Amino acid sequence: MTIKAHAKINTFLKITGHQNGYHTLLSRFVKVPHLYDTISFVPAKCDDFTIEGCGDVPIEYNTIYKVYVAIKEQLNQCIINDFFKYHKVVVQKNIPSGAGLGGGSSDAGAFMRLFNEVCKLGIDTPTLAQIGSKVGADIPFFVYNYDSANVSGFGEIVKEFKEETFEIELYTPNIHCDTPLVYKTFKQKLFDGIKPTVFKGWEKLSTKEILSKVDAIEANDLYRASLIAYPQLKEVAKEGWYFSGSGSTFFKIK
């Protein structure tokens, strides 16, 4: 009872607006084949829902626990409580946090898929993604588990995008980027300057087509905000590399 929770990169990310206190976006999410955490259900007698392998993160802040609670609220089935009396969740972490790679969201999405399968909950994928969206904006992509997808709205609209595969090289400096701070910086410093016409039609183009036309700043609206919030990123940035999500990982494709 083990599943892989792959990292993602945003090959492009454009902010499209701001509603109800949250930014809306259009982005291409791409699964990273060679980087993943693993989520396992391991037999163990547990008094409460138990997660191991996530460091010192209090359980109430853990995305896996949050989606577990959300599923319980959706179904209210006794089997849920019974299963985790006799199994613990063990996470083997490989995806760095604060790196724009979706580690916590990927863990949550993979947990939801494994839980749904192992316990035969019978939740269809769109409903599972909708439950996940209440916990985190990136989770629906990981629930759908596409190799590549256009993601829009608040992150809840996920449409598979078929494109040729490519190799992904990652470079993650020792800088932890706080996503809420990056988005707050964008809203305060850069939001008034967004021009949706600049990226019109990008959702129809392949990743290679888009990145052949734009540099890292143009590809990802959050890169400029991250540079303001974390000026030290300028010292580690590499020419020709792009920036994933709110950072701090840089990537290039082949």
Give every strand in the sheet of 168-171, ordered side by side: 168-171, 250-253, 242-243
How many Cβ atoms are within 10 Å of 59's Cβ, its own excluded?
14
Question: How far apart are the C-alpha atoms of 87 and 50, rounded to whole Å?
Answer: 8
Which amino acid, residue 251?
Answer: F
- The number of beta carbons lying within 10 Å of the beta carbon of residue 83 is 15
232 DSSP 8-state letter: T
CA distance 72 to 112: 11
* Cβ within 8 Å of residue 83, ≥6 positions away: 41, 118, 119
Catalytic residues: 8, 138
Q: Which two tokens stand for residue 237?
A: 């940035």
